[in-house]
Structures are given as C-alpha cells and as structure tokens.
Structure 1
Amino acid sequence: MTGTPTTQTFRIAHASRGAGVDSSRLALPCAITREWAWGSSRGARVRVCLIDSGVDTAHPGLGGPVTALTVADRPDDDGRRYRIVPDESGDQAGHGTACAGVIRAMAPDCELTSVRVLGSGLRGSGEALLSALEWAVEDGFHLVNLSLSTRRTEHKEALHDLVDRAYFAGVTIVASAHNRPVRSYPWNFTSVISVGSHSMAESEYVEVNPDPPVEFFARGVAVEVPQPGGGRSRLSGNSFATPHVTGMCARVLGRHPGLPTGQLKYVLAAIADNRI
C-alpha cells in the first residue's frame, strides 16, 4: 500500500522522518497481513470511548449514532466527586467531533461513545480526565481514544496506575503524543499505544517507529474532518493521527475479538508500511 506525500510544511513534534524498519527487529510471532488483520471488518460490535471535547451528534460526517456523555462535578452514588452524565452542551471546540469523524471513517460500524472533558479553549481538569478514564475502564470499553495529554506531574502517578489497570483489564488506550517536544502523559507509558504523525495522504498508511518512545505514526497532516454545525475543515496534529490508529484497532478487534493491547501492537507493527 502506498501513500502520496502532501505539500504542507510539517513541524509537529513526534513526527515520522520516513525511516524504514528492518522486519527482523520486530520479533513477530508469525506472518501477519492486512487481510488477516481485518479483512472486511468495519469494527462491528467494538466499543470505542472517545475522551475529548464532546461531539456534534447531528453531524452527518459521524456516519451514525454517538452516545454523548460528560463529566459532572457532583458526587455519584459511590461518593466520588465526579460522575458521568448525558452531555447537553455538545462540542464547543470542534476537536472531539474531528476525532470522532476520523474513527468512524476508519471503522464505520464501531459503537462510539464520547465523554467530554475539555471546554471551548481545549482546557479541562486532570481530575475530570482521570474520572472519565476510570469510568471507561470500569465499563469495559474495548478501545479508548485519548487525543490529549497532560503535563501536570501531580497526575502522572494516578494516570500511570490507571492505564496499567486498563492494560490488564483488556481495555486498550490509544494515546496521542504531544505536538511539541515536551514531557506529557499518558502517551509515553508503555501500557498504551502511542501515536505521532506522518505526512502521507493515505488514511491506512501506518508506520512503526524505529526510534521510540512514540510507537506508531499515522496520517496527521491536512486531515479532512467534520466540525460542529455541519461543516468540514482540514486540520493537522498528532490528535488526528491517533483516531486513525484507533479505527484500525477497531477493525482488527472486529475480526479478532479479545486481542489485548500487546497483541494489537504486534499486529500494527506487522502491517506497517515502512517495514523493509
């Protein structure tokens, strides 16, 4: 599979440099093709949680129903400060709608749930993020898309514990690397699938990174995405590369239910387009 390079200048941190990877370095257990990986799967019966800025559920570019929830700052029945409730505000930033559109474009039949934790300025609290992620893990989603991260070190330990808990519970977290060369979380924890960007125009073109910590690169430049109110625009960033990988994982799980995070990483590495 090939892609056509775009002409847009690409200055996002954690971006592909176009390096190839020697297949012998991948230590794959067997030969894996895209036909084996997903074949005709469209992600049916795969539950995906998008933790972001909400969604415009009426946008036709989402390709189907989306359950819209948010984190409310009031105690739940267990006495915890935050609870998950229906979202009546929608997407005030456009970021979540864009990511939802990419996920659905890649895996049209997945069951998509949005949990809003970011406001109009793409700002939110670490506590809300932790609460949303804990809820998603407890609810047993197959995949969680995190096209966001935090630089706040006070949340690092709790996030690390939570993504490890997700890993062992069979919940795969696909997390975006920061767009700048800064330290942030949880993308650089090994229990998540971390994603940066490449500038190829092909949506299914994926690279395995020969120089971690970020593990995979997906399309993240001039990606056409839906925006609140029914419009569309072209956006760039690791945020929009991440849902491409989430969608690929949904297709794999649609064909091979129950694959844990580690095995999904193997599959992505095996089908990477930069293997030589």
Structure 2
Amino acid sequence: MSTSIAIIDSGVNPWHSHVGKIARGIALDINSTGQVVFHNCFMDTIGHGTAIAGVIREKAPFAELCAVKIFYEELKAPNRLLIAALRWVIENNFKIVHLSLGTKCPDTKSLLEDLCQLAFEKKIIVVASARGPRDDIYPAVFETVIGVYWNDKCSEPLLIYHPRSRIEFGAYGWPRPLPGLPRHQNFCGSSFAAAHVTGLIARILNKFPQADVLEVKRILADASQILTMEERENYGR
C-alpha cells in the first residue's frame, strides 16, 4: 500500500539517486497580472526540495511523492502561493502534506487555520517546520498540524516530545549525506527535522491508514522521549 505525500517546497529533481520516482509534480507562480498560475515545470533549481524528498524516500520507500513547487531563486514565497498550494493539495486528497515553511503574518493566520481544519476533517496530515518548541509560527503551531523543529541534541532515530509546548516534536535536522560534500556545506535545519517526521508518519499511515492527526500525534508521542519541565529547559532551543 502506498501513501501519497505532497512536498510544498522548491520542487524536486526526480532523477536524483536519493529520490527515485516522482508520482506527480506541479508548480505555482504569480504572473504579470498578479494572478496565481499553475504549470508543470516542477524541477528543483535550489536543491532544497530534492533533499527533503530524499529524507522522506529513505524512511518511506513505498510512498508516492508529489512535488509542489512554490520556491524559485530563494526559499521564500508570497503567502498567496502557500495558501493556493495548500488548498490544491487538500482538494487533491493527498494523505500527508509536508511544509518546510511557515509564516507569522497575522493576515494569513485565519486562512491557514481554516485550510488546516479542512485537512483535519479529511484526515489529511499536515506536517510543518518551526524554529523551536516555543515558536509562534503558522501553520506549525495549530492543533490540527504536527509541528516539528530541529533539536540538535537528537540523533537520527530519536524523537523528542514536548507536552504542552507550542511545537510538540523535536527531531534530527540533517539530510542524507552527499558523497564528496562536507556535512557543514549541506543543508540542515528544521525543514529536515520535519522531513524525518513526515517519513515516520508515512510508515504509521501505511500500517494505520485511517488514523487522523490526533492519533498520529499519540503514536509519535508514545515512540518519543517525553521531557519533564526541567528537561524541556535543557533541550528546548
């Protein structure tokens, strides 16, 4: 059984050895008249989305990956593209949405919250990155979303659970190594912590395909190191 995962990022290079087959790809941009437009050129020119896909593929080789490109020359995009991409993914009923991004724009909060609530009702799992357990960033902070940050005390298998924190999960924040490239020159950060968790969630849904986000959070928490208040002060960044 496959699990469909939409990666909203900089696109994906489907020929990269860490990625393999991409089931589907789409790109969103804003045209000269200010309208959001869709096209099929989802090739990654930055490398970030490809590295994210590689992490997910390693943990969930059975998954059907879809590239949803909203980043171009840099890892920034107008909030309108994020909203349009998330709406498209939900309308197309992917099982998991991976977001290596977020916003603190108050004007965008309600739109994102409504979309994430719709995803929750459709049992679509939204995974989003944040900078730390206290980060007030959307959509990672929503209860309908699984928020993840990079905890640099985590080895790859370790998952940290922060009960009652804004962002509940901390994880390993490095991508797969590239031959000949020193680790410090590769990507790293909360985007990749979220990708590791996305891969784990794909495994969970492969076993429990009807699980909703609350059930997935419980399963992840049961598999995590749960921190006391004192430990949270030491681990939280």
| Same-fold status (TM-score > 0.5) | yes
Structure-1 separation of matches of 2:29 and 2:187: 29
Query: In structure 1, what is the Cα distance between the partners aligned to 2:65 and 2:216?
Result: 19
Residue 160 of structure 1 corresponds to which residue in structure 2?
A: 113
SS of residue in 2 equivalent to 1:156? helix
Decide whether aligned partners of structure 1 residues 58 and 177 sit closer, same or farther in structure 2, where only a CA change above 3 A counts: same
Query: Equivalents in 2 of 1:219, 1:145: separation in Å?
Result: 16
1:60 correspondence with 2:35: no
Match in the other structure for 1:271: 223
Instruction: Give the aligned CA root-mean-square deviation in angstroms.
Output: 2.5
The residue type paired with residue 47 of structure 1 is S
Counterparts of 2:177 and 2:6, CA distance in 1: 18
Q: Which amino acid aligns with 1:270?
A: D
- Which residue of 2 is the match for residue 82 of structure 1? 36
Given that 1:59 and 1:226 are in contact with CA atoms closer than 8 Å, whether structure 2 keeps it comes out as no
Correspondence for 1:99 = 52
1:257 positional shift: 0.8
Is the partner of 2:225 in helix, strand or coil? Answer: coil
**What pairs up with 1:9-88 in 2 under 5 angstroms?**
44-73=1-30, 81-88=35-42
Partner SS for 1:71: strand
| 1:73 positional shift | 3.5
Identify the residue that residue 23 of structure 1 maps to in structure 2: none
1:206–1:218 CA contact under 8 A, matched in 2: yes
Q: Secondary structure at the match of 1:149?
A: coil
1:256-276 Cα offsets, whole Å, 9 max, x none, are: 111111110111011113479
Matching residue of 1:252? 204
CA contact under 8 A between 1:57 and 1:66: conserved in structure 2? no
**5+ residue gaps in structure 2?**
229-237
The alpha-carbon distance between structure 1 residues 73 and 179, as it changes in their structure 2 partners (threshold 3 A), is: same
The one of 133, 147, 158 equivalent to 2:86 is: 133
SS at the partner of 2:157? coil
Which letter does structure 1 place at the counterpart of 2:63?
C
Q: Which structure exhibits the higher relative contact order, with contacts defined as CA atoms closer than 8 Å and separated by 6 or more residues?
A: 1
User: Which residue does 2:158 correspond to in 1?
Assistant: 205
Structure 1 stretches of 5 or more lacking a match? 1-43, 75-80
Shift of 1:109: 1.1
Match among 78, 95, 118 for residue 142 of structure 1: 95
**For each residue in 1:203-244, what CA deviation from the matched residue of structure 2 results, as whole angstroms up to 9, or x when unmatched?**
332121135011111111x433569xx978533211110011
Cα deviation digits, residues 140-174 of structure 1 (max 9, x gap):
11000001011222211111111111111111100
Which of residues 113, 138, 143 in structure 1 aligns to 2:66? 113
